[in-house]
Structure 1
Amino acid sequence: MTATPVTTAATAATAGNAEIAVTGLGVVSPAGIGAEACWRRVCLGAPTAAVDPELRGLRPDFSCRVPTFDAVGRLGAALARRTDRFTQFALLAAQEAVTQAGHDPAGWDATRVAVVTGSAFGGVGTLVRQAGLLAEHGAGRVSPLTVPLVMANMSAGQLSAALGVRGPSLAVATACASGATAIGVARDLLRSGACDVALAGGTEAAVDRLTAAAFARLDALAPLPASQGPAAASRPFDAERQGFVLAEGAAVLVLERLADAKARGARVLGRLVGYGAAADAHHPTTPHPAGVGLELALRRALADAGARPAEVDHVNAHATGTPLGDLAEARTLHRLFGAVPVTAAKGTLGHTLGAAGAIEAALTVLTVAEGLIPPTANLAKQDPEIDLDVVHGAPRPARIGLALTDSAGFGGQNAVLAFAPA
Structure 2
Amino acid sequence: MNPLLLSHFTATSCLGRGLDAMLAALRGQRGGLAPCDFERADLDTWIGKVDGVDDVTMRADLANYDCRNNRLAQIGLEQDGFAARVAAAAARYGADRVGVFMGTSTSGILETEQAYRTRDPQSGALAPGFHYAETHNPYSVAAFVRAYCALRGPATSISSACSSGAKVFGSARRMIEAGLIDAAVVGGVDSLCLTTLYGFNSLELLSREPCRPFDANRNGISIGEAAAFALLERVPADAELADDAVLLLGVGESSDAHHMSSPHPEGLGARTAVEQALATAGLAPHDIGYINLHGTATPSNDAAESRAMAALFDGTPCSSTKGATGHTLGAAGALEAVAAALALRHRFIPAGVNTTQPDPELGLNYVLQSHDADIDAVLSNSFGFGGTNCSLVLGNGRGRGRAR
| TM-score over 0.5 (shorter chain) | yes
Partner in structure 2 of residue 79 of structure 1? 62
Superposition deviation, residue 60 in structure 1: 2.3
- CA distance in 2 between counterparts of 1:379 and 1:87 reads 32
Q: Aligned with 2:310: secondary structure? A: helix
- Closer/same/farther in 2, CA of residues 70 and 140 from structure 1, 3 Å limit: closer
Correspondent of 2:131 among 107, 123, 145: 145
Are 2:271 and 1:305 equivalent residues in the alignment? no
Superposition deviation, residue 89 in structure 1: 2.4
Superposed structure 1 runs of 4+ greater than 6 Å apart: 265-268
Superposition deviation, residue 247 in structure 1: 0.7
Partner in structure 1 of residue 402 of structure 2? none
Superposition deviation, residue 260 in structure 1: 7.2
Are 2:334 and 1:351 equivalent residues in the alignment? no
- Closer/same/farther in 2, CA of residues 187 and 374 from structure 1, 3 Å limit: same
Correspondent of 1:49 among 18, 22, 33: 33
The equivalences for 1:86-105 within 5 A come to 86-96=69-79, 97-99=82-84, 103=88, 105=90
- CA distance in 2 between counterparts of 1:149 and 1:102 reads 24
Q: Aligned with 1:28: secondary structure? A: strand
Q: Aligned with 2:318: secondary structure? A: strand
- CA distance in 2 between counterparts of 1:57 and 1:109 reads 45
- CA distance in 2 between counterparts of 1:397 and 1:107 reads 37
Gaps of 5+ in 2: 398-404
Cα pair 1:21 1:261 within 8 Å, conserved: no
Partner in structure 2 of residue 155 of structure 1? 141
C-alpha distance after superposition, 1:297-333 (max 9, x if no partner):
0000011001111222110000011011011111211
- Closer/same/farther in 2, CA of residues 135 and 300 from structure 1, 3 Å limit: farther
Q: Aligned with 2:224: secondary structure? A: coil
Partner in structure 2 of residue 245 of structure 1? 222
The equivalences for 1:4-83 within 5 A come to 18-54=2-38, 58-69=42-53, 72-73=56-57, 75-76=58-59, 79=62, 82-83=65-66
Cα pair 2:243 2:396 within 8 Å, conserved: no
- CA distance in 1 between counterparts of 2:307 and 2:282 reads 23
- CA distance in 1 between counterparts of 2:391 and 2:126 reads 46
- CA distance in 2 between counterparts of 1:270 and 1:133 reads 47
Q: Aligned with 1:253: secondary structure? A: strand
Partner in structure 2 of residue 277 of structure 1? 253
Superposition deviation, residue 266 in structure 1: 9.5
Superposition deviation, residue 118 in structure 1: 0.8
Cα pair 2:109 2:135 within 8 Å, conserved: no
Correspondent of 1:212 among 197, 206, 225: 197
Superposition deviation, residue 286 in structure 1: 0.4
- CA distance in 2 between counterparts of 1:256 and 1:237 reads 35
Correspondent of 2:374 among 371, 396, 399: 399
Partner in structure 2 of residue 118 of structure 1? 103
- Closer/same/farther in 2, CA of residues 388 and 146 from structure 1, 3 Å limit: same
The amino acid that maps onto 2:31 is P
Superposition deviation, residue 240 in structure 1: 1.1
Q: Aligned with 1:287: secondary structure? A: coil
Q: Aligned with 2:135: secondary structure? A: helix
- Closer/same/farther in 2, CA of residues 100 and 140 from structure 1, 3 Å limit: closer
Cα pair 1:26 1:93 within 8 Å, conserved: yes
Matched positions, count: 394
Cα pair 1:313 1:340 within 8 Å, conserved: yes
Once the two structures are overlaid, the 10-residue window that deviates more, 187-196 or 337-346, is 187-196
Partner in structure 2 of residue 411 of structure 1? 386
- CA distance in 2 between counterparts of 1:165 and 1:61 reads 40
Q: Aligned with 1:139: secondary structure? A: coil
C-alpha distance after superposition, 1:21-61 (max 9, x if no partner):
11111211111111221222122222212123335663324
TM-score scaled to structure 1, two decimals?
Answer: 0.87
Superposition deviation, residue 90 in structure 1: 2.6
- CA distance in 2 between counterparts of 1:102 and 1:157 reads 16
- CA distance in 2 between counterparts of 1:91 and 1:260 reads 34
Partner in structure 2 of residue 236 of structure 1? 213
TM-score scaled to structure 2, two decimals?
Answer: 0.91
Partner in structure 2 of residue 360 of structure 1? 336
Cα pair 2:5 2:245 within 8 Å, conserved: yes
Superposition deviation, residue 282 in structure 1: 0.5
Superposition deviation, residue 214 in structure 1: 1.4
Cα pair 2:101 2:156 within 8 Å, conserved: yes
Superposition deviation, residue 163 in structure 1: 1.4
- CA distance in 2 between counterparts of 1:93 and 1:269 reads 21
Superposition deviation, residue 168 in structure 1: 1.2
Cα pair 2:45 2:206 within 8 Å, conserved: no
- Closer/same/farther in 2, CA of residues 100 and 42 from structure 1, 3 Å limit: farther
Cα RMSD (Å): 2.3
- Closer/same/farther in 2, CA of residues 254 and 188 from structure 1, 3 Å limit: same
Superposition deviation, residue 173 in structure 1: 1.2
Superposition deviation, residue 262 in structure 1: 3.9
C-alpha distance after superposition, 1:338-382 (max 9, x if no partner):
200001110100000000000000111111111111111111111
Q: Aligned with 1:170: secondary structure? A: strand
Gaps of 5+ in 1: 1-16, 225-232
Partner in structure 1 of residue 395 of structure 2? 420
Q: Aligned with 1:380: secondary structure? A: coil
Once the two structures are overlaid, the 10-residue window that deviates more, 275-284 or 252-261, is 252-261
Are 2:160 and 1:174 equivalent residues in the alignment? yes
